[in-house]
C-alpha cells in the first residue's frame, strides 16, 4: 500500500510548522497534565491554547502573520474545518471561537456580550495558567447555555 502525500502551499507549511513550534516553545507538559487532572475538556483547552501559542509565535516571528492569514483562508475555502454549506453562527461557542481565532472576522461570526467577553479573555491569555482559567469559564458558560436550551 502506498501513502498519498497531499500537497500544501508554502503558507500552509509555515502555518503548520509555526503552530507546532509554538506548542514546543510554550505549551508546558505540566499544564497539560493539570488540565487532565482537573478534568478540563481537552477540546476547549486546545482551542484556547492554540489561540495563545499562535499569537505568541506571530509576535516572535512577525513574518509568519501573512502566512497564517493566507493559509487559514485557503484551508477554510478547501473545507479543512468541515464547514462547507454550514451556518457558522449555528456552531457551538468553542467552535465559533476556534474559527474566529484562526480564520478571522471575515466569516461574520456573531457573539453575544458574554461570549465577546470570554473571547477577549481567550485573546488575552499570556500563560498556561490563564489558558486553564479561561477554559474553565468557557466550559461553565457552555454548560449554562446547554441547560437553558
CA neighbours within 13 Å on the CB side: how many for 60? Answer: 12
- pLDDT of amino acid 149: 79
Spatial separation of the C-alpha atoms in residues 85 and 4, rounded to whole Å: 27
- pLDDT of amino acid 1: 46
Tell me if 70 sits within 8 A of 114, measured CB to CB.
no
Spatial separation of the C-alpha atoms in residues 23 and 17, rounded to whole Å: 10
The string over 54-83, giving b where at least 16 C-beta atoms fall within 10 Å of a residue's C-beta and e elsewhere, is: bbebbeeeeebeebbbbbbeebbeeeebee
| Sites in the chain below the pLDDT cut of 70 | 1-5
- pLDDT of amino acid 2: 47
- pLDDT of amino acid 3: 44
Which three three-digit cell numbers place residue 52?
Answer: 495563545
- pLDDT of amino acid 106: 92
Helices (H) and strands (E) in the chain, counts: 7, 0
What's the pTM?
0.92
- pLDDT of amino acid 32: 86
Amino acid at each position: 500500500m502506498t501513502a498519498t502525500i497531499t500537497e500544501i502551499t508554502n503558507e500552509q507549511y509555515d502555518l503548520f510548522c509555526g503552530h507546532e513550534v509554538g506548542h514546543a516553545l510554550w505549551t508546558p507538559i505540566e499544564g497539560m497534565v493539570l488540565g487532565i487532572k482537573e478534568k478540563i475538556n481537552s477540546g476547549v483547552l486546545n482551542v484556547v491554547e492554540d489561540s495563545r501559542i499562535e499569537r505568541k509565535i506571530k509576535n516572535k516571528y512577525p513574518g509568519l502573520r501573512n502566512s497564517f492569514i493566507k493559509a487559514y483562508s485557503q484551508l477554510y475555502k478547501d473545507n479543512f474545518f468541515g464547514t462547507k454549506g454550514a451556518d457558522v453562527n449555528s456552531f457551538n461557542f468553542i467552535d465559533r471561537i476556534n474559527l474566529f481565532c484562526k480564520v478571522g472576522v471575515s466569516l461574520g461570526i456573531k457573539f453575544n456580550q458574554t461570549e465577546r467577553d470570554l473571547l477577549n479573555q481567550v485573546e488575552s491569555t499570556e500563560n498556561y495558567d490563564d489558558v486553564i482559567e479561561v477554559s474553565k469559564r468557557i466550559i461553565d458558560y457552555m454548560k449554562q447555555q446547554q441547560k437553558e436550551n
